[in-house]
């Protein structure tokens, strides 16, 4: 059969192209534009080549916030993934408690970022916050405003509280899809609890775990609102992650050129790491 | 290898159901011989899988005891009962190779690796899986996977019994024949006690020495295939075994004769019937003769199924099937005659004995 070619169909896609252009491509190109230019005011720009980029890559401040961000993502992944699996494994599979647990789990996910920040900002305060007050009454010297370790602790616990549910729900969904016969067969075969996890439950959760890790990595790498509300990046620069640093640079100092360069590098890092994650995961998947 | 004693086993799936008297398994009281091949046969929902799971310990019966070789195992968990079970749908450990799948039950029981290897190779050879031993179980076809499940059920040399829960449902028909005869052969060579659940009478009759027919949570008959065919002890067995099933018609008794719709039918003896209610007469379609001068019937249609002809007729208002050889002629104004020795009398669905 001969194929008929009709390029008029492209017109159908045009509205989407226009929309994407205005929402993504044009803003992104503006950023690219800023990143290679400099200005002395009066809206007059001149070509600056790759100077902002080389300055950025040589600045200690950038590498500090980048490594803070990587450590943060690493820590919350190391906490949320195992914890999420553990909770999912222990959630009831049938009965009235299923819906109770599911609603409880979904609650944190429904709360807006800045509200989560506010909750923990108040919760951790030493004067009126339940957690901060109790911790200090019990003799712990806890103060997230002054102590970097306490600030990190608060930001990490907050993220675990906010997002572990996502991992739980994803894992739970794949766990309940395992037919009973698998568990019965495992019993017949005399498999230990660990073997059941290793050979039945984990393989089943593999795909959703890939998604959970990717989502949590990207989200935590872009985190802004919650630490901004709780610590504002402090004390000092101790909780200044890339996005907080970027906003400080762009809006605080109004250094549009360096901020644009940083945006692009930031974007490329996320793209690169996500690609690596995905490739590694799918490659090991294909191997099996 | 063990003798399995089912001592007044009853099961209801919830306490509420038990209070209502709603039992999935009403009362099973029987002993299964060591090394026997049993088939549990019955329609869906008759309690055969429940009974199987009670034997393997996946379900704890609401009442009664179960013993292997006289040792009470009612309270033992599945792992401690040393039972192998193969399920309706293939269960394989996806991430393992076929070899590791088979080795899994042995390794879990800390069998020395040399022995594991020997046993696994034996079973691989027996089930024709050698060529894919190194392959991962993921990505195999459903019947290959089910073969792995079967092989995993057979791999332990010391099991008390091997239970099969409709294991050939997902297998292609031509492979079914092969696997079934392999199982049969395996039973002969290994001497395991095997229990095979199915709703397919051909499967049950070819596999088992003794067929256990279940109906609505009860065992209605245990017997050899011949016994089930010739002397079904319950009208359900008559109906369920055989194709077409037994003709069952309400009848009145007068000594050595049964009366259906004014027609007198001679019996081989005097049925021992008490005063109780519903009396029925049962006769297999194979033992009904069509000849001139028989009892009047109306023939509705004749189905030719190759080697045989099935005549669908009505006798005194009741449907009557007759099986004839293919070359047997149907006379005009054919009447029916029942072979007296093949007639069974049923009181409230249960077969009653006859006095000569």
pLDDT tens figures, B250-300: 888 888 888 888 888 888 888 887 766 788 899 998 888 888 878 888 888
Domains B4-235 and B245-355 fall in the same CATH topology: no
Q: What is the predicted pLDDT for the residue at B95? A: 86
Whether A194 has its CB under 8 Å from any CB of chain B: the answer is: no
Least confident of A203-207, A275-279, A280-284: A280-284
Domain ranges for chain B:
4-235, 245-355
What band does B308 get if pLDDT is binned at 50, 70 and 90? confident
Q: How far does B78 lie from chain A, in Å, by closest CA?
A: 6
> Mean pLDDT over residues B97-117, rounded?
89
- With 0-12 CB in 10 A as exposed, 13-18 as middle and 19+ as buried, what is A276? exposed
A42 CA to centre of own chain: 38
The predicted structure's pLDDT at residue B202: 83
CB contact under 8 A, A181 and B95: no
* pLDDT tens, position by position, A36-65: 888 777 777 788 878 888 888 888 888 888
* Set of chain A residues whose Cβ sits within 8 Å of the Cβ of B83: 188
Which pLDDT belongs to residue A1? 61
Contacts of A92 (CB under 8 A, 6+ apart): A98, A101
Task: Flag whether pLDDT at B190 surpasses 80.
Answer: no
C-beta atoms of A181 and B91 within 8 A: yes
Residue intervals in chain A for CATH 1.10.3720.10: 60-287
CA nearest to A180 within chain B: B91
Identify the pLDDT of residue B1: 64
Contact A184 B78 (CB under 8 A): yes
* Per-residue pLDDT, B174: 79
- Give me the residues of B, 27-56, that contact A with CB < 8 A: 53, 56
The residue-averaged pLDDT of B241-250 equals 88
Judge whether B78 is closer than 8 Å to chain A, CB to CB. yes
Quote the minimal CA–CA distance from A32 to chain B in Å.
Answer: 46
For domain B4-235, say whether CATH 3.40.50.300 is its number: yes
Task: Say yes or no for a CB contact (<8 Å) between A191 and B108.
Answer: yes
Interface check B83 vs A, CB under 8 A: yes
- pLDDT computed for residue B62 by the predictor: 85
State chain B's mean pLDDT as an integer: 85
Q: 3-class SS at B248?
A: strand
What was the pLDDT predicted at A16? 92
pLDDT at res. A127: 85
Contact yes or no for A32/A48 (Cβ under 8 A): no
B108–A188: do the CB atoms touch at under 8 Å? no
Distance CA B54, CA B127 (A): 28
pLDDT at A218: 86
Q: What mean pLDDT value characterizes chain A?
A: 87
Nearest CA to B193 among B10, B26, B347, B69? B69
Q: In this predicted structure, what is the pLDDT of residue B260?
A: 86
pLDDT tens for B36-81 read: 888 888 888 788 888 888 888 888 888 888 888 888 888 888 888 8
Report pLDDT for B264: 84
The C-alpha of B58 sits at a distance from chain A's nearest C-alpha, in angstroms, of 7
Residue pair A241/A72 in contact (Cβ under 8 Å)? The answer is yes
Interface size A-B, in CB pairs within 8 Å, comes to 54
Q: Which residues in chain A are contacts of B79 at CB distance < 8 A?
A: 187-188, 190
Report pLDDT for A24. 87
Nearest C-alpha of chain A: how many angstroms from B89? 8
On whether any CB of chain A is under 8 Å from the CB of B91, the answer is yes
pLDDT reported for residue A197? 92
pLDDT at A168: 94
Once rounded to an integer, what is the mean pLDDT over residues B203-208?
84
A183-187, B141-145, B308-312: least confidently modelled range: B141-145
| pLDDT higher than threshold 90 for residue B200 | no
Averaged over A269-278, what is the pLDDT? Answer: 85
- With contacts defined as CB-CB under 8 Å, which chain B residues touch A184? 53, 56, 58, 78, 85, 87
- Contact across the interface for B93 and A188, Cβ inside 8 Å: no
Interface membership of A287 toward B (CB under 8 Å): no
- In 3D space, the residue among B2, B196, B188 whose CA is nearest the CA of residue B82 turns out to be B2
B110 touches chain A (CB under 8 A): no
- The ipTM estimated for the assembled molecules is 0.75
pLDDT at A156: 93
Summarize the confidence of residues A89-105 as an average pLDDT: 89
Site from B53, B79, B156 to mutate, A interface, most A CB atoms within 10 angstroms: B79
On chain B, the residues whose CB falls within 8 A of the CB of A196 are none
- A254 neighbors A40 (Cβ within 8 angstroms): no
Dist. CA B243–CA B246, nearest whole Å = 8
CATH of domain B245-355: 2.40.50.140
pLDDT, position A287: 62
Flag whether pLDDT at B85 surpasses 70. yes
A195: nearest CA partner in chain B: B108
> Which numeric CATH code is attached to A60-287?
1.10.3720.10
CA B187 to chain centre: 17
B95 to A203: CB separation less than 8 angstroms, yes or no: yes
Q: How far is B96 from chain A (nearest CA, A)?
A: 8
Q: Which residues, listed in sequence order, are joined to residue B319 by a DSSP beta bridge? A: B314
Query: Which residues 312-341 in chain B show a CB within 8 A of chain A?
Result: none
Long-range contacts of A149-157 (CB under 8 A, 24+ apart): A151/A230, A151/A231, A151/A234, A151/A235, A151/A238, A151/A239, A152/A238, A152/A239, A154/A120, A154/A124, A154/A230, A154/A231, A155/A72, A155/A226, A155/A227, A155/A230, A155/A231, A155/A239, A156/A72, A156/A75, A156/A76, A156/A79, A157/A120
Q: Where residue A167 falls among pLDDT bands split at 50, 70, 90?
A: very high
- Is residue A288 over pLDDT 60? no
């Amino acid at each position: 059969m001969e194929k008929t070619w009709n390029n008029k169909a492209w017109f159908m896609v045009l509205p989407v192209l226009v929309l994407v252009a205005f929402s993504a491509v044009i803003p992104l190109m503006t950023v690219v534009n800023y990143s290679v230019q400099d200005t002395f005011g009066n809206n007059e720009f001149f070509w600056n080549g790759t100077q902002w980029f080389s300055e950025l890559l040589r600045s200690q401040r950038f590498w500090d916030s980048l490594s803070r961000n990587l450590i943060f993502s690493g820590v919350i992944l190391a906490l949320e993934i195992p914890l999420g699996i553990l909770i999912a494994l222990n959630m009831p599979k049938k009965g009235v408690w299923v819906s109770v647990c599911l609603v409880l789990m979904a609650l944190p996910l429904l709360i807006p970022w800045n509200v989560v920040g506010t909750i923990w900002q108040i919760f951790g305060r030493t004067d009126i916050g339940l957690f901060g007050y109790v911790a200090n009454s019990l003799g712990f010297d806890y103060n997230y405003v002054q102590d970097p370790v306490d600030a990190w602790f608060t930001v990490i616990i907050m993220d675990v509280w906010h997002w572990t549910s996502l991992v739980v729900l994803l894992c739970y969904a794949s766990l309940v899809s395992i037919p009973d016969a698998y568990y019965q067969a495992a019993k017949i075969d005399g498999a230990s609890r660990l073997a059941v996890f290793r050979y039945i439950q984990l393989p089943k959760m593999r795909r959703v775990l890939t998604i959970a890790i990717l989502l949590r990595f990207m989200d935590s790498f872009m985190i802004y609102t919650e630490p901004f509300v709780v610590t504002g990046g402090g004390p000092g620069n101790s909780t200044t992650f890339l996005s907080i640093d970027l906003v400080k640079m762009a809006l605080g100092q109004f250094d549009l050129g360096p901020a644009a360069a940083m945006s692009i590098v930031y974007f490329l890092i996320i793209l690169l790491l996500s690609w690596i994650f995905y490739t590694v995961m799918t490659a090991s998947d294909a191997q099996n | 290898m063990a003798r399995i004693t089912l001592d007044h086993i009853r099961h209801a799936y919830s306490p509420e159901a038990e209070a209502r008297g709603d039992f999935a398994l009403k009362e099973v009281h029987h002993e299964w011989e060591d090394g026997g091949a049993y088939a549990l046969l019955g329609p869906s929902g008759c309690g055969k899988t429940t009974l199987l799971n009670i034997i393997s310990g996946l379900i704890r019966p609401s009442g009664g005891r179960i013993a292997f070789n006289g040792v009470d195992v009612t309270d033992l968990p599945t792992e401690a009962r040393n039972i192998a079970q193969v399920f309706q749908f293939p269960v394989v450990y996806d991430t393992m190779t076929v070899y590791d799948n088979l080795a899994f039950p042995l390794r879990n029981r800390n069998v020395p690796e040399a022995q594991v290897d020997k046993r696994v190779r034996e079973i691989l050879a027996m089930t024709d899986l050698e060529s894919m031993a190194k392959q991962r179980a993921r990505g195999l076809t459903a019947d290959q996977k089910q073969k792995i499940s079967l092989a995993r059920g057979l791999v332990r040399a010391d099991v008390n019994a091997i239970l099969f829960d409709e294991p050939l449902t997902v297998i292609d028909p031509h492979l079914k024949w092969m696997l079934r005869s392999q199982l049969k052969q395996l039973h002969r060579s290994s001497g395991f006690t095997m229990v095979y659940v199915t709703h397919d009478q051909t499967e049950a009759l070819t596999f088992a020495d003794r067929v256990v027919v279940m109906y609505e949570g009860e065992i209605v008959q245990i017997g050899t295939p011949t016994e089930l065919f010739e002397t079904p002890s319950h009208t359900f067995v008559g109906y369920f075994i055989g194709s077409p099933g037994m003709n069952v018609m309400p009848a009145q008794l007068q000594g050595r004769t049964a009366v259906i719709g004014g027609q007198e039918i001679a019996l081989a003896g005097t049925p021992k019937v008490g005063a109780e209610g519903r009396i029925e007469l049962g006769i297999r379609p194979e033992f009904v003769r069509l000849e001139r001068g028989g009892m009047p019937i109306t023939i509705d249609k004749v189905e030719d199924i190759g080697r045989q002809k099935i005549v669908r007729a009505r006798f005194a208002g009741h449907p009557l099937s007759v099986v004839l050889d293919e070359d047997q002629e149907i006379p005009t104004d054919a009447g029916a005659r029942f072979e007296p020795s093949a007639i069974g009398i049923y009181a409230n669905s249960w077969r009653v004995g006859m006095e000569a």
